[in-house]
Amino acid sequence: MSKIGFIGLGIMGKPMSRNLMKAGHSLVIYCRSAETVKEFKDAGAQIAGSPREVAQNADTVITMLPNSPEVKEVVLGENGLIEGMRPQAMLIDMTSLDPLVSREIAAKLAEKNIRMMDAPVSGGEPKAIAGTLSIMVGCRQEDFEEFLPLLKAMGSSAVRCGEAGAGNVTKLANQIIVAANIAAVSEALVLAAKAGVNPELVFQAIRGGLAGSVALDAKAPMMLDRNFAPGFRINLHIKDLNNVLNTAQGISTPTPLTESVMKMMLSLRDGGLGDADHSALVQYYEKLAGIEVQR
């Protein structure tokens, strides 16, 4: 198996990189956390002192970072990946970021004959751990076919959606649907509780019908258990929805549902829940209704 560079060993990146190692790939990593560095060094990973050094030791580099500024710094900044990547090397950026930034970075790399695909994911920490993420890819068809086995070490589904930037456009569409779904689940369960009907029984009754969804099955139990430990933080969903709104404004596309959920998430963030799981959206409705959803 090949040596893979990996930068961005957070909630998502850490289990994704572990799954690469389980699939037989060796890793070279760059990370600022001493604890994480020790963990991966003990597991057999090579440790680099900069993104440039990662690129000098691997022909394929994966980045999984918070947002556009971090990706630009790691790829294009001082001692960045672009300074160490060889011609025809591949950058797989799995960050969820502004599609226009993806295209900008891809163009800069292309000037040096370096390949790139944007490949954001959906599924949160549980699916990152299980290796069953859904991966949305923007790149050339031949590159997709070449790297599909590598992507499948981290996800159960990988779909090429078009050229550079298409993966992140698809991720924005995904995040609109996820946000609206979680808000609708919250609204429905608070309505049930306020009306005196057991919300857990409502969940069990509707999950097999048209209202059923992965979001309902994943988030309703968390709401009922009052478990808001982050699988996907509200702060990160705010970041994604901000990218949605910026992109939509740039192409004159209406996004009234996204705007409504964004206001809810910003309210929760301002109330100190930015690091809670996005299932904490239920607390926005609970505060207004004066009732708590629970089993």
> Which among 26, 14, 9 has a CA at the least distance from the CA of 150?
26
d(C-alpha 45, C-alpha 151), whole Å: 19
* DSSP-derived secondary structure for 76-90: HSTT-GGGTPPTT-E
d(C-alpha 119, C-alpha 186), whole Å: 30
Q: Which of 14, 127, 171, 239 is catalytic?
A: 171
Q: Is 108 a catalytic residue?
A: no
* Pairing outcome for strands 46-47 and 26-30: parallel
Helices marked H in 124-198 — which ranges?
124-130, 141-152, 166-194
* Pairing outcome for strands 3-7 and 60-63: parallel
> In this structure, what token pair is assigned to residue 187?
């609204």
- Which positions are annotated as active-site residues? 171
